[in-house]
A and B are shown apart, each in its own frame.
Chain A
Amino acid sequence: QKEVEQNSGPLSVPEGAIASLNCTYSDRVSQSFFWYRQYSGKSPELIMSIYSNGDKEDGRFTAQLNKASQYVSLLIRDSQPSDSATYLCAVRLAMYSSASKIIFGSGTRLSIRP
């Protein structure tokens, strides 16, 4: 089992709709969770981080964390063509006490259709 799993997509969503991206992780005691956006040919950029159960909202983006289910999601409201990108879920694994281990999922490719 992969430590961080994402559906590779592509996920196609009409413009203006809600895009829902999901991620599961295997380390039960993970503490930090991140969503990075990566445009084709570019480097990843952080769009959301979440550390405690529940929802965290930032503009059109909402991150949701459920540690009991080992599940983190990203919702994008009012999807725009500029949201078309690959979204990487990243998890900091608590088993590594040096705080140096972060695992990325393989990413979900999102396409917003006009």
Chain B
Amino acid sequence: EAQVTQNPRYLITVTGKKLTVTCSQNMNHEYMSWYRQDPGLGLRQIYYSMNVEVTDKGDVPEGYKVSRKEKRNFPLILESPSPNQTSLYFCASSPRGLGEKLFFGSGTQLSVL
């Protein structure tokens, strides 16, 4: 089944404790992206990747890191999480660029205490 898999689905952590949210797609998509969703603010792009080893900042990259060592994986790293990073996170992919459909993962609800 074609899908974007995110883990974990829920995560509660404390300020400053490094964490990684994993994202994997099995559709051989070139483009992958991370979004956060907050009430009243919609989906905001954190980072994106056009292909392996090619990543760039989105609208809200502060406090996040990403890497794209393999085409299928695009992990999101929070080196020192803070409470303002409490949010619902989505990973998404599309075959090439953004004139095409985005396939979303099921989301990760992160709470930073």
Interaction A to B: yes
Question: Is residue B74 contacting chain A, with contact meaning CB distance below 8 A?
Answer: no
Question: Is residue B98 contacting chain A, with contact meaning CB distance below 8 A?
Answer: yes
Contact A49 B101 (CB under 8 A): yes
Contact B105 A46 (CB under 8 A): no
How many chain A residues touch B (CB < 8 A): the figure is 25
Considering the complex, give the chain A residue whose CB is closest to the CB of B42. Answer: A106
Question: Is residue B110 contacting chain A, with contact meaning CB distance below 8 A?
Answer: no
Among B47-65, those with CB < 8 Å from A are 48, 50, 56
- Say which residue of A4, A42, A90, A99 sits within 8 Å of B97 (CB atoms): A99
Shortest C-beta distance, A78 to chain B (Å), equals: 25
Among B30-51, those with CB < 8 Å from A are 31, 35, 40-45, 48, 50
Shortest C-beta distance, A97 to chain B (Å), equals: 11
Contact A31 B99 (CB under 8 A): yes
Contact A100 B40 (CB under 8 A): no
Beyond A44-B104, A45-B104, whether A8 also contacts B98 by CB under 8 A is no
A7 CA to B50 CA, complexed, in Å: 32
Considering the complex, give the chain B residue whose CB is closest to the CB of A91. Answer: B98
A105 CA to B42 CA, complexed, in Å: 6
Considering the complex, give the chain B residue whose CB is closest to the CB of A107. Answer: B42
| New A-B contacts (19) at CB < 8 Å, excluding given A32-B99, A88-B42, A100-B31 | A31-B99, A34-B101, A34-B102, A36-B102, A42-B106, A43-B90, A43-B104, A43-B107, A44-B43, A46-B101, A46-B102, A88-B43, A90-B43, A99-B97, A100-B50, A100-B56, A101-B98, A102-B102, A104-B43
A-B contact pairs, 5 of them (CB 8 A): A31-B99, A42-B107, A43-B90, A44-B43, A100-B98
